[in-house]
Amino acid sequence: MPNLGAPELLIILVIAVLVFGGAKLPKLARSLREAKDEFETGKNDPKKGSNEDAPKQLTTSDDNDKVTMSKAELDALLTERELKAKRA
């Protein structure tokens, strides 16, 4: 495998900016970092990474009323509420 020096990395960076656009590069880098972190978590501790999307039991003020919702549903609900708050 050839070594990548500064000129080669600069060329790769310029091509990435042209392909993805300057505004999308931070989002792309963030998503790649998160994917790498999730992979490392799953590799190091398989039991910990496997239950993230499992439904979690939430309780309301009345203990008789219980709500079950997945992490993805909860994230979508929170995002929706944040958008409504920004509009108001």
What are 20-76's pLDDT values in tens digits? 787 887 888 888 899 988 888 888 876 664 555 555 555 555 555 666 778 888 888
82 has a pLDDT exceeding 80: yes
CA 75 to chain centre: 11
CA distance 20 to 26: 10
Which residue shows structure tokens 């509009």? Answer: 87
pLDDT at res. 30: 87
Number of separate domains in the chain: 2
Residues 34, 47 within the same domain = yes
> Are residues 82 and 44 part of one domain?
no
**71 lies in the same domain as 45:** no
Instruction: Tell me the C-alpha distance between 42 and 47, whole Å.
Output: 8
| Residue 13 φ/ψ region, left for φ over 0, alpha for ψ in the -120 to 50 degree band, beta for the rest | alpha
Residue 42 pLDDT: 82
DSSP bridge pairs for 58: 67
pTM given for the model: 0.37
The amino acid that residue 13 corresponds to is: L
The parent domain of residue 77 ranges over 53-88
Is residue 85 pLDDT above 60, yes or no? Answer: yes
